[in-house]
Amino acid sequence: MPTAAPSRSRPLGTALDSALAALAERFGRRFTTSAAVREQHAHTLTWIAPQPPDAVVFPHSTEEVAEIVRICARWGVPVIPYGVGSSLEGHVNAPFGGVSLSTEEMTDVVEVHAEDLDVTVQAGVTRKRLNEHLRDTGLFFPIDPGADASIGGMAATRASGTNAVRYGTMKENVLGLTAVLASGEIVRTGGRARKSASGYDLTRLLVGSEGTLGVITEVTLRLHGLPEAVAAGVCPFPSVASACDATIATIQSGLPVARIELIDEVQIRACNAYSKLSLAEVPTLFVEFHGSDASVREQSPRFAEIAAENGGGPFEWATKAEDRSRLWQARHDSFWAAGAMRPGTRLVVTDVCVPISALARCLGETQADIAASGLISPIVGHVGDGNFHCQLLIDLGDASEVERCKAFVARLVERALAFGGACSGEHGVGQAKMGYLEAEHGAVALETMRAIKRALDPDNIMNPGKIVVP
């Protein structure tokens, strides 16, 4: 099982003090060493203990971020980018101390080009705020990881979510970005053109880099037209395997589903209790179709036929906005619903991704493993692209239970890799999954990642202890 990098609370002595003094002088009330604020910027939803930074600073612009990074680079102090803290694999911990650079006050929508279907925002803009801003344009930004994450954080972790089966992930929807490198220099990558065949793709290098290569300060995003009609529904199945078979048949038939989410029977039980629903406590698919009125009317009955062919049904669907919102709110509340199942425990959430043809087998083996391990773990999944999440309820005071959890996660990842999958579909690597990269990508690819890290961050100040050790 991989372990986090060793921590040290004040590693740099007078160098750290000098950097903090310079930041305090420059940023005044937007700089703090308050214990409460530092702890807030180190929370983690894993078994890894929170590792707070030595200070937190709140810039307002790319230029201010560059100033912060130059000060930290001068004294060799780590910089840990922070959005809203909704990441799940220890990304915002400060294992070597340093400065947490919070983008929460960088909330400007810089430019909207409705005619070109793109927008540029500062990194601290959240997805909900962006869509509220776009409401009158007839456009929206579709990436929905569940939490109201910041756009900068979503780019840094290569997030996706419930709409990815139709609209793709952040990788496909980031056209360009502005970032501050470890030297304090500002780099602008990509652009507003829909394609380019010039130079290395630095945008894709920084998307998913989790703050280890630079601090993302602005992002240019691809937008999409609001669909004329939306229909959503739920469909129960006798087993996870039959639900997965229906998903595969739906994708292979070419039905343009916007969302297709699996919730297993344990999670349905939690959602019923938490969200006051009365769904049958069996594996269930939540689906949504976007398009014209005519296409939605065609797609929904066709999905019902596919579901019935695989033992599912009845398929109940809704087109009223309030009914759809209630349905999807229950899905988005699944984290809190799962946590309420066993009060006093920590909810440790992890994910893997496999080819959809392997999904039924991988999920079946995972459910059997959970039962054999004596653990409680509801499962939810963005099954249209083979991605699923285990939400483990763990008593961190029980060493045996923690070890069983760690061993289960190791087997989960090994199982996904054996099926040709990935150690994470959307949560990223952070601290928790560093030890799996070589098994997934190979030694040469991992050394190439290290070489890139060394080239762009020779002093290892950018979010050290995450993804790779240079």
For the stretch 74-104, pLDDT in tens is: 999 999 999 999 888 889 999 999 999 999 9
List the one residue out of 236, 442, 244 whose CA is nearest residue 359. 244
Q: Answer positive or negative: Cα dihedral of 326, 327, 332, 333.
A: positive
Dihedral angle over CA of 209, 210, 213, 218, nearest 10: 90
pLDDT score at 322: 78
Cβ-contact 287, 293 below 8 angstroms: no
pLDDT band for 10, please (50, 70, 90 cuts): very low
**pLDDT > 80? residue 409:** yes
Cβ(221)–Cβ(151) under 8 Å? yes
Q: Give CA separation, 77 vs 11, 39, 96, in Å.
A: 9, 18, 9
Mean per-residue pLDDT, 11-22: 85
**Record: fold of 109-225:** 3.30.465
- d(Cα 80, Cα 463) in Å, to the nearest integer? 5
Per-residue pLDDT, 3: 39
Angle at 35 between CA 30 and CA 39, to 5 degrees: 95
Nearest of 41, 58, 172 to residue 463 by alpha carbon: 41
Is 5 a residue whose pLDDT tops 50? no
Task: Indicate the domain borders of the chain.
Answer: 14-104, 109-225, 227-432
Q: What is the pLDDT of residue 405?
A: 94
Q: Which conformational region is residue 6 in: left (phi greater than 0), alpha (psi within -120 to 50 degrees), or beta?
A: beta
Per CATH, domain 227-432 is 3.40.462.10: yes
pLDDT digits (tens, 9 = 90+) for 110-122: 999 999 999 999 9
User: Could you give the percent of the chain with pLDDT greater than 90?
Assistant: 78
Q: What is the pLDDT of residues 142-155, one digit of tens each?
A: 998 878 899 999 99
Residue 4 has pLDDT above 50, yes or no: no
Strands, E assignment, 103-205: 109-113, 118-122, 139-140, 174-180, 186-190
Residues 6+ apart with CB under 8 A from 93: 4, 7, 42, 44, 48, 50, 51, 80, 430, 431, 465
219-273 pLDDT tens trace: 999 999 999 988 888 999 999 999 999 999 999 998 889 999 999 999 999 999 9
pLDDT of residue 12: 57
Query: Considering the chain, what is the average pLDDT of its residues?
Result: 92
Q: Answer for the pair 132, 109: CB distance below 8 angstroms, yes or no.
A: no
Residue 7 has pLDDT above 50, yes or no: no
**C-alpha to C-alpha distance for 243 and 307, rounded to whole angstroms:** 8
Mean pLDDT of 461-468: 96
Distances (CA, A) of 260 to 168, 244, 284, 399, 460: 13, 10, 10, 37, 40
pLDDT at residue 125 above 90?
yes
Long-range contacts of 435-443 (CB under 8 A, 24+ apart): 435/1, 435/2, 435/3, 436/2, 437/467, 437/468, 439/413, 439/414
- Same fold flag, 14-104 and 109-225: no
Which pLDDT band, with edges at 50, 70 and 90, does 47 fall under? confident
Rounded to an integer, the average pLDDT of 316-327 is 76
Maximum mean pLDDT: which of 24-38, 267-281, 328-342:
24-38
CATH for 14-104 is: 3.30.43.10
The predicted structure's pLDDT at residue 2: 37
CB atoms under 10 Å from CB of 344, counted, come to: 8
- How does residue 300 score in pLDDT terms, banded at 50, 70 and 90? confident
- Structural tokens at position 113: 């080009």
Q: What b/e readout covers 312-343, taking b as 16+ CB neighbours within 10 angstroms?
A: beebebbbeeeebeebbebbbbbbebbbebee
Tell me how far apart the alpha carbons of residues 285 and 281 are, in angstroms, rounded to a whole number: 12
CA-atom Rg of the chain in angstroms: 22
36 CB-contact burial (10 Å; exposed 0-12 / middle 13-18 / buried 19+): exposed
Digit-coded pLDDT (tens) for 413-426: 999 999 999 999 99
Average pLDDT over residues 178-205: 94
